[in-house]
Every structure is written in C-alpha cells, then in structure tokens.
Amino acid sequence: MTRVSLPKRAEGHDRPPAIISPSILSSDFARLADECKRMVDLGADWLHVDVMDGHFVPNLTLGAPVVASLRKHTDAFIDCHLMVTNPELWVKDFAKAGADMYTFHLEAAAGPSPDDWHNLAPDSAHQAVVDMCHGVKAAGMHVGLALRPATPVELVVPYIEQGLVDMVLIMTVEPGFGGQSFMADKAAKAAVLRRRFPDLAIQVDGGLAPSTIDRAAAAGANVIVAGSAIFGATDPGAVMRQLRESVTTAATSGKAPH
Ligand code: DX5
Ligand code: ZN
C-alpha cells in the first residue's frame, strides 16, 4: 500500500490537479530539513529529490540515507527521481527510507547501456521495465517512468495501457544538473500523452519557471518540478503560485493539449 494516494482529476478539468514539486537539488543541503519545511509552508505539494549516480548522468548527489533523514522531519510527499544505471538496486532502500514515488528512467530499466532504449518497441512492453514497475509497486511506492529528452514518448504507452505507471516524467533538460535552459520542443511530448490519458500524472522537469511554464501547461503537464526558479527566488511562494495558476488555467481552458 502506498502511503498517500495521488489526487484525482476534477469535473471540468482536462488533467489531475496541479502539483508543485520543488527540486531540492537547488537547496542548501546543509540545511535540508529547514529548506524543505520552508517550501512546504510556502505551498509546495511535493519535494523532488534528484538521485544521481555519476554514471547514468555525469553528477553525484545523494541516496536513500538522506531520504530517511528527511522523512524524520517532514510528512510531505517525497518524489524521488532516480537518474541511475541500475534502478532495481535501490527500490527496497528507498521504500524503507519513506519515499512516496520512485521514478526511474525507461532508458536505464531497458538495459545497462545508454542506448538500450533503441531495443524498446512502442507496441509491446519490455519485461525488465514491467518487472521494475511491479517491484516498485510491491515495495509500497508510486511508480514513475522518466524519459530523457531524446527518447520517443510513444515508448511509455504500453506500460500506461497496462496500468503499471502512476506518473510519466518528461525531461525538458538533459538530466544531470539544475539551472539549465528549458527545451520547449520536449514539452510537446506531454501533449501526446495527455490527449490519450486524461487521468495520468504527467511531470515536467528542467528549466521550469514563470517564463516557461505556459508552454508546459499548454501541453498538458500537471506535476511541475522547479529547482533554481523556486529556490533562487526572493519570493518562492509567489513563484509556486504562478506555476500552479498556469497549469490550472490551461486545465480549464477547453483547448486541446498541444
Ligand atoms: C536535472 C534534475 C532536475 C533539476 C531541475 O537533472 O532532474 O530536477 O533539479 O532544476 P531546474 O529547475 O533548475 O532546471
Ligand atoms: Zn529531477
């Protein structure tokens, strides 16, 4: 059983409610608990935890022990983004640490090489990815499936259709670092999914800010990750409100996701 359920789509909305998930990658790690409390007090719905292994991406961050420490200080939904080569290795540790969502990369689950996603087909499910989804669910976490900017969005469809996935994460920067520029053309991948799956949680991550959110909102995203734009703001609460408002406006606009 998952600790907290995901919010459902309301009547008259084309997607589930907006969820704002500040990325702690841009926080002061020495004051992590205080930084997270501040964000939740200012309106954050989730806390986005970027886990990097120095192999899947050229950067190192943190692992399950930090999540376990953070869990002692907050009840907030902990949204973990695993940018690691062997995501199956850490499922149990993150579940035990108190993570709510375990989002792993489709490319990593498909095999050990960064190019293994080329072996995946849009019309059939790959057993290793299916096994990962079952493993995460059995461990009591929500299942997130992430896509690098170059990976075709159609490849996640078999897993959504089989009900294996709670959220799809569409990367709008190359994973590895905060503070990069938003790739607007990648946000359009969300529209392909939103037109088919109105109840699916669709997360966008990378370069989201008040100046870029409208594009992601128009495409149908509802879970918004932002690191530098929130932690770097003099008024993070105002930034989070702007992000939320853009998503809610798009969700009730009556315009097809594009
Ligand atoms: C990048 C991470 C992101 C990052 C976002 O690999 O997955 O979550 O922290 O940072 P900004 O919002 O600064 O692009
Ligand atoms: Zn992330």
Q: Sheet harboring 46-52: ordered strands across?
A: 19-22, 223-226, 201-205, 167-171, 142-147, 101-105, 77-83, 46-52
Q: How far is the CA of 81 from the centre of ligand 2 (A)?
A: 5
Question: Average pLDDT of 237-241?
Answer: 99
- Structural domain count, the chain: 1
* Probe target for ligand 1 pocket from 20, 23, 104, 243, with the most ligand atoms within 8 Å of CB: 23
* Probe target for ligand 1 pocket from 177, 204, 239, with the most ligand atoms within 8 Å of CB: 177
Closest ligand to Cα 173: 1
Statement: residue 140 has pLDDT above 70 = yes
pLDDT attached to residue 184: 97
pTM: 0.98
- Whether 225 is covered by a domain: the verdict is yes
Q: How far is the CA of 82 from the centre of ligand 2 (A)?
A: 8
Question: Average pLDDT of 225-247?
Answer: 98
In the numeric block, the tokens 């907050």 are attached to: 74
Binding site listing: 23, 48, 50, 81, 176-179, 205, 207, 227-228
Provide the CATH number for the domain around residue 145.
3.20.20.70
Statement: residue 116 has pLDDT above 80 = no
- Whether 5 is covered by a domain: the verdict is no
pLDDT band at 114 (very low <50, low <70, confident <90, very high): low
pLDDT attached to residue 115: 73
- In the structure, which protein residues have their CB atom closer than 6 angstroms to any atom of ligand 1? 23, 25-26, 48, 50, 81, 173, 175-180, 205-208, 225-229
Range of the structural domain that residue 79 is part of: 19-251
Q: Residue 38 half-sphere exposure, CB side, CA atoms within 13 Å?
A: 15
Q: How far is the CA of 25 from the centre of ligand 1 (A)?
A: 7
Give the pLDDT confidence of 25-68 residue by residue, as tens digits: 999 999 999 999 999 999 999 999 999 999 999 999 999 999 99
Give the pLDDT confidence of 203-215 residue by residue, as tens digits: 999 999 999 999 9
Statement: residue 110 has pLDDT above 90 = no
- Whether 8 is covered by a domain: the verdict is no
Closest ligand to Cα 208: 1
Question: Average pLDDT of 125-134?
Answer: 95
pLDDT attached to residue 206: 98
**Three-state secondary structure call for residue 19:** strand
- Whether 29 is covered by a domain: the verdict is yes
- Whether 76 is covered by a domain: the verdict is yes
Closest ligand to Cα 213: 1
Q: Which residues are catalytic?
A: 50, 205
- Whether 98 is covered by a domain: the verdict is yes
Alpha-carbon span 128 to 239, nearest angstrom: 39
Alpha-carbon span 191 to 258, nearest angstrom: 5
Closest alpha carbon to 32 in 5, 61, 1, 2: 61
Q: What is the mean pLDDT of the chain?
A: 97
Statement: residue 166 has pLDDT above 90 = yes
- Whether 7 is covered by a domain: the verdict is no
Task: Select the more confidently predicted residue: 123 or 70.
Answer: 70
- Whether 56 is covered by a domain: the verdict is yes
